C-alpha cells in the first residue's frame, strides 16, 4: 500500500523498519513509524481527508504543516486532529470529519448544488424568522457544519502546567532561530529554543538548498554543544502575553515561560493562489511537496503542474523531477521572470516554462477525489486571464506564489506588519519592547540572510539584557526582493469556486458581496463573511482577502489593513488550558474526627465543615436530635473556621473604634462584646466578637465566610491610618470549639481547668485565658445558640486532642457533636442574623435591627456617614422574624417571596422547622409597615401556594435570655 515511496535518503522522519498499520474511513493502510496520517495516506495515493465546512467539498491538506481545516480528522477519542502533523500509531482509527454517510459519498455535498441559496452572511440572514425556527435548524446545522465529535466516554488524561524562565526565548528553530540561539548561548545567556516540529532545522530539513549553503548538521551541532541552550521540540508557542510571558504547549504540558527577551524566528506560510477549484485535494504548496519528499519519502504525484511566482516554485519543480515526478510545466504568473538560481537551473534542465501564464481553473479527476488537470491560460492583467488555454493533465498541482511572514505571535505582542507601497505581502514594520525578529518572518529571503539576522537579533538581545533600559528596536533590513508577481494571484472566475478561505468556503464573490453590502472595515468583513475565522485564522487567507478588498475598493492592501491577532496562535486542546487544577481546601484540626464520626461534610468557602452527623437519609432526624441535645444537655461544634485576629499595640483600641461600629472604650480587660463591621457605604459586611485580653490587645473573631476578605480590608484601613498597631490573622493557628447546653460548665470542670467557670467569676461575655486539660486556651463565654456556652480557642495542633477530651468528659452528660445545620436552627430560634445569609449587598444596620450596635457618640467609624444618610432617608425594608401558625403548612424556603396583593415586598432569608417550638420559623425582609409584631404576611411558596405567617417578636426562644446567662 506504499506505492509512492521514494528510496533513501528521502524520508528523514520515517523508520522503514517499522511499518505501522492504521485505519482510515474503515480501510487499513500501512505507513512507517514517523509518518503523519496525511503522509501515510499520500503514500497510498489518498489525498482527500475531509469535506469542507459549508459546501461539503472534498478537501485535503494544502501546506502539510497543520494549518488548515482541510486536514482535520477524527480519532476515536479526539476530534479535530491535524492529519498532516499527527503521527500514526498502530491500530489508530481515523475518520474523516464533516461528512454525512462517509467521505466518498457525502450526501451533504448536495449542499453545493444549493450554493446560491447560501449567500455571504448566511447564518445572519437565515434561520432567525419566524421566531423559534433556530431551535429546529440548529440541530441540522450542528450536524452538517460541525467539526469533530466529542467522545463522551473519554478517559481523563493528565494535563499540567509548569513555569519556565530564561534570558532569551527563541521561537522557531529554523536557520534564523538556530543562529540566534547559538549566538546567545555563546554569550552564556540562558536560552530556550522552541521548535514546533519534531526536529530542529525548519526549512533546512525539507527545502532545496543551493550549493555552498550552510549545512543543517553544523548549525544543529553548534547549538547542541552549548550548555546554556535548552531545546524544546514538538513544542508550539501559542501565546505571547504581557511582559514576555509565553505559553508553550508540549505534549500534555503547558509551559508558562517568562523571558527577558524574545526572538521570534517563526518563519513563513506558503500561500495558496486563488483560482477556480483551487481547493481540490492534490493542490499543495511547494513546501508541502518538499516536506513529503524529504521528511516522509513520499512521491507527491506522478505528473505535476507547478504554478510559480518566484524561485521557490522552480526549486520544487527540480525536487519533483529528481524524485520521479513528471513535471508537465512550470507556469509562472510573472510576465518576465528574473533568472533566479533555481529558475536558471530549471531552464537549463529543459523544463517547460510558461511565463506570463496562470492556472485559470483546476479540474477534478473523474475517478478520484482529487485534482485531475489544470487549465493554463495567459495572464491578461492584474487579476485577469484569458478564458481559453491549454488543458494539462496532472495529479499534483504545486502552488508557489509567495510566502507570508508567520507573524501571528509577534502581532499578539504588539508588532506591526504592513505591506509596503502596492505590495500584497505584509512586512514587519515595528517591534514592541524586548522583542526581536529574524528570518522569513522578518523578511529574509535566503538562508544566509536569515542566519545574519539571527545573529544580529541575538546581539541586540544580549546588549539589552546587559542594559535593560528600553531602546527602540531596529527592524532587520532586507533586500528588496523583486521575485513576487506584480499583483497577488487572484483570478475570479465567472462560475465561482475560487476560494479565498478554504477553511470557511469563502469565495471571491462572497467577499465582494459583503463589501457591496457595506462591510468595508476588515474586522467587520471578517465577522460577516467568516473569512479568516477558521482553524488557520487567516494565515492562508489574509493576503488574498486584503487583495480582493483592495481591488474592490480601488485602494492598496496596506490601506485595507489586517485583523487583530489573538492567542492562541495554534489550535490548542482545552486540557492544556485547564491543566492540573489547583483548588486549595482548608481542613480544621478536627476534620478526620468528623469524617470518622459519620459527619456529612459541606463546603464553606475553602473550608470543609460537618453539616450534621448521620446518614444522609436521616438528615431531618439527625438535625433535630442535635438541636435537642444542645437545648437539653450539652453539644459541641467545631467552629475553627471562624476568623481570628490579634490586634495589638498602643493604638489597638483606636483602630477598633474606627474599623468597627460599636465603641470599645468602656470594654474592660477580660470582657468581650459584639463587633459589627460596615463598609464605607454603610453596608453590613461582617460581624464577630471582640475580646479585650490586655489593655492593648484585642482578639477579634470574624465569620467563616467573611474572614478571608476581612483581613485585607483591615490592613487597607491601617495602610491609610498608619496607627501604632499590629493586625495579625491567626485564623489557622487556633482551633475553636463551641460547647453549649445547660451541662456545658460541668464538662469543663470535669476536664480540669485553672479558669474559674462559675457564673460569678465567668459571666456571660467574659473572656479568659488559661488552661483546659493542660492546653493553653482562650475562653469566651459567648453563645450563638442561646444556651450556657463557651467558645474555646486552643492552639490548632492541640485542638483535636482537646476535642476528644471534651467528648470523653461529656459522655456522662449526654454530649453530642452538632453540625452547621443544627447550629443554623439553634441560632434562628434565638433570632441571630447571619451576615451574608440574612444580609445582602445593600443591607445597612437599621434594616436588620442592629442600630444598637452603632457607637453613636463615636466621632468616626467606617460607614458612619452613609448609615446616617440612609437612616434619614427612611427604611425601605426591615428584617423580621416570623412564625407559621398552621403546623400543617409547608415550611417556607430561603428565597421565597413575601407578597402583598400583586406586589413583592420582601423575601425569606432563613427558614427552619424548630423542634423546640414545634413550628416553622424564619427571618424575612418585609415592607416597614408590615414589620409590626403580629402582622400577617403572605409567603409565596413553591407552586404559587401562599403561606400565611405572623411577624413574631425576636428571639423566638428564651426571650429573656436567662438560659445563656446561667
Partner 1 sequence: MVEPRSPIDDALRAAGGSIGEHAGATVVIDYGDPDEEAEAARGLGLADLSPLPRVGFRGPGAREWLTAWGVDLPDEPNRACIQPDGAIAVTRSWTEVLVLGSTQSADSLCARLEAGTSDAHRARAYSLPRFDGLFWFALTGASAADCLAKICGVDMRETAFSSGSVAQTSLARLNAVIVRVDAGATPLFHLLGDSASAEYAWASLLDAMQEFDGRPVGLRALHALAREFK
Partner 2 sequence: MKVMPCPLNGPRPIQEFTCGGEVVAPPDPDHADAEAWADYLFLHDNAAGVVREWWYHVPTSFWFIADRDTVTDEIVRTFLPRELFGPDAQPDRP
The residue ranges that bind partner 2 (CB under 8 A) are 241-243, 245, 256, 258, 680-681, 711-712, 715-716, 719-722, 729, 859-860, 864-866, 869
Binding partner of residue 864 among partner 2, partner 1, none, CB cut-off 5 to 8 Å per kind: partner 2
Binding partner of residue 150 among partner 2, partner 1, none, CB cut-off 5 to 8 Å per kind: none
Smallest separation (angstroms) from partner 1 to the CB of 186: 18
Q: Strands 427-430, 416-418: parallel, antiparallel or unpaired by DSSP?
A: antiparallel
604 binds partner 1 (CB under 8 A): no
Region of 535-543, 645-653, 660-668, 839-847 interacting with partner 1 (CB under 8 A)? 645-653
Q: Could you tell me which of 8, 116, 14 has the C-alpha nearest to residue 55?
A: 116
Q: Strands 697-702, 643-648: parallel, antiparallel or unpaired by DSSP?
A: antiparallel
Q: Which of 87, 364, 586, 619 binds partner 1 (CB under 8 A)?
A: 586
Smallest separation (angstroms) from partner 1 to the CB of 588: 7
Smallest separation (angstroms) from partner 2 to the CB of 876: 16
Binding partner of residue 132 among partner 2, partner 1, none, CB cut-off 5 to 8 Å per kind: none
SS3 370: coil
Element (H, E) at 920: strand 919-926
Cβ neighbours of residue 360 closer than 8 Å, sequence gap 6 or more: 275, 276, 375, 376, 377, 385, 386, 387, 389, 491, 493
Binding partner of residue 840 among partner 1, partner 2, none, CB cut-off 5 to 8 Å per kind: none
Q: Which of 773, 779, 850, 920 binds partner 1 (CB under 8 A)?
A: 773
Smallest separation (angstroms) from partner 2 to the CB of 279: 39
The sign of the torsion formed by the CA atoms of 183, 184, 185, 188 equals positive
Burial of 941 (0-12, 13-18, 19+ CB in 10 A): middle
Cα 487 off chain centre by: 41
Q: What would the DSSP string read from start to end of 227-288?
A: TTEEEE-SEEEEEEETTTEEEEEETTEEEEEEEEEEEE---EEEPPPB-BTTTSTTEEEHHH
The Cα 626–Cα 632 span in angstroms is 10
The Cα 929–Cα 907 span in angstroms is 15
Find the binding residues for partner 1 in span 173-232 (CB under 8 A): 190
Q: Could you tell me which of 391, 428, 110, 135 has the C-alpha nearest to residue 264?
A: 428
Q: Could you tell me which of 709, 924, 920, 703 has the C-alpha nearest to residue 820?
A: 703
Smallest separation (angstroms) from partner 2 to the CB of 196: 22
Q: Which of 24, 53, 488, 734 binds partner 1 (CB under 8 A)?
A: 734
C-alpha cell of residue 23: 485505519
580 binds partner 1 (CB under 8 A): yes
Of 421 and 719, the one with the shorter C-beta distance to partner 1 is 719
How close are the terminal C-alpha atoms of the chain, in Å? 93
**Per-residue x/- mask for partner 1, residues 672 to 711, rule CB under 8 A?**
----------------------x--x--------------
Smallest separation (angstroms) from partner 1 to the CB of 190: 7
Of 160 and 849, the one with the shorter C-beta distance to partner 1 is 160
Q: Which of 160, 199, 433, 654 binds partner 1 (CB under 8 A)?
A: 160
Smallest separation (angstroms) from partner 2 to the CB of 867: 11
Smallest separation (angstroms) from partner 2 to the CB of 721: 7
C-alpha cell of residue 524: 467587520
C-alpha cell of residue 53: 465546512
Of 367 and 720, the one with the shorter C-beta distance to partner 2 is 720
Q: Which of 733, 876, 933, 936 binds partner 1 (CB under 8 A)?
A: 733
Binding partner of residue 712 among partner 2, partner 1, none, CB cut-off 5 to 8 Å per kind: partner 2
The Cα 235–Cα 372 span in angstroms is 37
Element (H, E) at 738: strand 737-740
Smallest separation (angstroms) from partner 2 to the CB of 265: 23
User: Which parts of 62-165 fold into alpha helices (H)?
Assistant: 122-125, 133-145
SS3 182: helix
Could you tell me if 123 and 132 are in contact, meaning their C-beta atoms sit under 8 angstroms apart? no
Of 752 and 763, the one with the shorter C-beta distance to partner 1 is 752
Q: Which of 646, 679, 808, 840 binds partner 1 (CB under 8 A)?
A: 646
User: Which parts of 505-597 fold into alpha helices (H)?
Assistant: 508-516, 522-529, 542-553, 557-560, 574-578, 591-596
Region of 163-171, 519-527, 890-898, 911-919 interacting with partner 1 (CB under 8 A)? 163-171
Binding partner of residue 245 among partner 1, partner 2, none, CB cut-off 5 to 8 Å per kind: partner 2
Smallest separation (angstroms) from partner 1 to the CB of 697: 7
For 302, phi then psi, to 5°, come to -90, -40
585 binds partner 1 (CB under 8 A): yes
Binding partner of residue 162 among partner 2, partner 1, none, CB cut-off 5 to 8 Å per kind: partner 1
How many C-beta neighbours within 10 Å does residue 669 have? 13
Binding partner of residue 945 among partner 2, partner 1, none, CB cut-off 5 to 8 Å per kind: none
Region of 211-219, 488-496, 565-573, 588-596 interacting with partner 1 (CB under 8 A)? 588-596
The Cα 206–Cα 298 span in angstroms is 12
**Per-residue x/- mask for partner 1, residues 244 to 263, rule CB under 8 A?**
------------x-x-----
Which residues of this chain interact with partner 1, rule CB under 8 A?
Answer: 160-165, 190, 256, 258, 580, 582-589, 592, 606-607, 640, 646, 648-650, 694, 697, 724, 726, 728, 730-734, 773-775, 795-798, 800-802, 805
Amino acid at each position: 500500500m506504499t506505492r509512492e515511496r521514494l528510496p533513501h535518503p528521502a524520508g528523514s522522519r520515517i523508520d522503514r523498519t517499522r511499518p505501522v498499520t492504521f485505519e482510515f474511513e474503515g480501510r487499513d493502510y500501512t505507513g512507517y513509524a514517523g509518518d503523519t496520517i496525511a503522509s501515510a495516506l499520500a503514500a497510498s495515493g489518498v489525498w482527500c481527508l475531509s469535506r469542507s465546512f459549508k459546501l461539503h467539498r472534498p478537501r485535503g491538506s494544502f501546506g502539510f504543516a497543520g494549518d488548515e481545516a482541510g486536514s482535520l480528522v477524527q480519532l476515536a477519542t479526539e476530534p479535530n486532529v491535524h492529519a498532516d502533523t499527527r503521527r500514526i500509531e498502530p491500530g489508530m482509527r481515523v475518520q474523516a470529519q464533516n461528512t454525512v454517510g462517509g467521505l466518498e459519498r457525502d450526501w451533504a455535498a448536495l449542499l453545493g448544488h444549493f450554493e446560491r441559496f447560501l449567500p455571504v452572511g448566511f447564518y445572519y440572514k437565515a434561520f432567525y424568522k419566524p421566531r423559534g425556527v433556530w431551535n429546529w435548524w440548529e440541530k441540522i446545522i450542528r450536524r452538517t457544519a460541525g467539526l469533530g465529535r466529542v467522545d463522551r466516554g473519554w478517559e481523563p488524561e493528565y494535563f499540567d502546567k509548569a513555569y519556565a524562565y530564561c534570558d532569551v526565548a527563541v521561537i522557531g528553530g529554523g536557520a534564523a532561530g538556530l543562529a540566534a540561539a547559538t549566538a546567545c548561548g555563546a554569550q552564556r545567556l540562558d536560552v530556550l529554543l522552541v521548535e514546533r516540529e519534531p526536529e530542529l532545522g525548519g526549512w533546512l530539513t525539507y527545502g532545496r538548498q543551493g550549493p555552498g549553503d550552510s549545512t543543517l548538521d553544523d548549525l544543529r551541532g553548534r547549538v547542541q554543544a552549548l550548555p546554556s541552550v535548552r531545546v524544546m521540540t514538538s513544542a508550539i508557542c501559542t501565546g505571547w502575553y504581557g511582559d514576555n510571558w509565553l505559553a508553550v504547549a508540549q505534549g500534555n504540558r503547558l509551559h508558562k515561560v517568562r523571558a527577558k527577551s524574545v526572538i521570534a524566528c517563526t518563519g513563513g506560510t506558503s500561500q495558496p493562489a486563488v483560482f477556480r477549484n483551487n481547493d481540490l485535494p492534490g493542490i499543495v504548496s511547494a513546501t508541502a511537496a518538499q516536506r513529503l519528499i524529504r521528511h516522509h519519502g513520499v512521491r507527491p504525484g506522478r505528473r505535476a503542474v507547478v504554478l510559480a511566482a518566484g524561485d521557490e516554485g522552480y526549486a520544487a519543480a527540480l525536487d519533483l523531477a529528481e524524485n520521479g515526478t513528471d513535471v508537465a510545466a512550470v507556469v509562472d504568473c510573472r510576465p518576465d521572470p528574473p533568472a533566479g538560481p533555481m529558475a536558471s537551473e530549471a531552464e537549463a534542465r529543459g523544463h517547460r516554462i510558461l511565463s506570463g501564464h496562470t492556472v485559470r481553473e483546476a479540474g477534478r479527476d473523474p475517478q478520484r477525489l482529487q485534482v485531475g488537470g489544470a487549465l493554463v491560460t495567459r495572464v491578461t492583467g492584474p487579476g485577469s486571464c484569458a478564458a481559453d488555454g491549454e488543458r494539462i493533465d496532472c495529479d499534483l498541482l504545486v502552488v508557489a506564489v509567495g510566502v507570508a511572514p508567520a507573524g501571528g505571535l509577534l502581532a499578539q505582542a504588539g508588532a506591526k506588519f504592513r505591506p509596503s507601497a502596492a505590495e500584497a505581502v505584509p512586512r514587519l514594520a515595528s517591534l514592541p519592547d524586548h522583542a526581536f525578529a529574524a528570518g522569513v518572518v522578518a523578511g529574509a529571503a535566503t538562508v544566509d540572510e536569515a542566519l545574519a539576522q539571527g545573529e544580529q537579533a541575538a546581539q541586540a538581545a544580549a546588549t539589552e539584557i546587559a542594559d535593560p533600559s528600553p531602546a527602540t528596536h531596529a527592524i532587520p533590513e532586507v533586500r528588496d526582493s523583486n521575485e513576487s508577481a506584480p499583483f497577488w494571484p487572484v483570478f475570479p472566475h465567472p462560475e465561482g469556486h475560487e476560494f479565498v478561505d478554504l477553511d470557511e468556503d469563502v469565495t471571491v464573490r462572497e467577499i465582494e458581496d459583503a463589501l457591496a453590502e457595506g462591510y468595508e472595515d476588515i474586522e467587520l468583513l471578517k465577522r460577516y463573511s467568516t473569512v479568516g475565522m477558521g482553524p488557520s485564522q487567516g494565515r492562508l487567507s489574509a493576503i488574498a482577502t486584503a487583495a480582493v478588498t483592495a481591488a474592490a475598493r480601488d485602494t492598496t492592501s496596506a490601506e485595507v489593513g489586517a485583523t487583530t491577532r489573538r492567542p492562541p496562535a495554534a489550535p490548542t486542546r482545552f486540557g492544556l488550558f485547564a491543566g492540573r487544577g489547583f483548588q486549595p481546601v482548608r481542613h480544621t484540626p478536627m476534620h478526620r474526627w468528623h469524617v470518622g464520626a459519620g459527619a456529612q461534610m459541606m463546603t464553606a468557602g475553602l473550608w470543609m465543615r460537618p453539616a450534621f452527623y448521620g446518614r444522609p437519609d436521616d438528615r431531618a432526624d439527625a438535625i433535630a436530635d442535635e438541636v435537642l441535645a444542645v437545648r437539653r444537655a450539652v453539644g459541641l461544634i467545631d467552629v475553627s473556621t471562624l476568623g481570628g485576629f490579634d490586634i495589638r499595640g498602643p493604638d489597638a483600641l483606636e483602630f477598633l473604634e474606627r474599623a468597627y461600629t460599636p465603641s470599645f472604650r468602656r470594654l474592660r480587660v477580660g470582657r468581650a462584646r459584639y463587633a459589627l463591621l460596615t463598609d464605607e457605604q454603610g453596608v453590613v459586611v461582617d460581624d464577630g466578637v471582640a475580646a479585650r485580653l490586655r489593655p492593648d490587645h484585642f482578639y477579634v473573631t470574624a465569620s467563616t465566610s467573611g474572614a478571608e476578605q476581612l483581613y485585607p480590608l483591615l490592613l487597607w484601613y491601617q495602610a491609610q491610618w498608619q496607627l501604632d498597631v499590629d493586625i495579625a490573622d491567626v485564623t489557622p493557628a487556633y482551633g475553636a470549639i463551641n460547647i453549649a447546653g445547660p451541662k456545658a460548665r460541668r464538662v469543663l470542670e470535669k476536664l480540669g481547668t485553672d479558669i474559674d467557670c462559675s457564673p460569678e467569676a465567668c459571666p456571660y461575655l467574659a473572656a479568659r485565658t488559661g488552661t483546659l486539660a493542660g492546653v493553653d486556651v482562650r475562653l469566651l463565654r459567648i453563645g450563638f445558640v442561646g444556651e450556657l456556652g463557651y467558645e474555646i480557642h486552643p492552639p490548632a495542633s492541640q485542638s483535636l486532642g482537646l476535642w476528644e477530651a471534651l467528648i470523653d468528659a461529656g459522655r456522662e452528660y449526654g454530649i453530642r457533636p452538632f453540625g452547621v445545620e443544627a447550629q443554623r436552627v439553634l441560632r434562628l430560634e434565638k433570632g441571630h442574623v447571619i451576615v451574608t445569609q440574612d444580609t445582602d449587598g445593600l443591607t445597612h444596620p437599621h434594616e436588620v435591627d442592629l442600630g444598637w450596635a452603632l457607637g453613636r457618640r463615636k466621632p468616626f467609624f467606617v460607614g458612619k456617614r452613609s448609615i446616617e444618610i440612609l437612616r434619614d432617608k427612611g427604611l425601605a425594608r426591615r428584617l423580621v422574624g416570623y412564625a407559621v401558625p398552621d403546623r400543617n403548612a409547608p415550611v417556607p424556603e430561603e428565597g421565597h417571596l413575601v407578597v402583598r396583593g400583586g406586589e413583592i415586598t420582601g423575601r425569606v432569608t432563613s427558614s427552619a422547622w424548630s423542634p423546640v417550638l414545634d413550628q416553622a420559623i424564619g427571618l424575612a425582609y418585609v415592607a416597614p409597615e408590615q414589620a409590626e409584631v403580629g402582622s400577617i404576611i403572605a409567603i409565596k411558596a413553591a407552586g404559587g401556594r401562599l403561606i400565611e405567617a405572623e411577624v413574631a417578636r425576636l428571639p423566638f426562644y428564651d426571650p429573656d435570655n436567662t438560659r445563656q446567662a446561667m
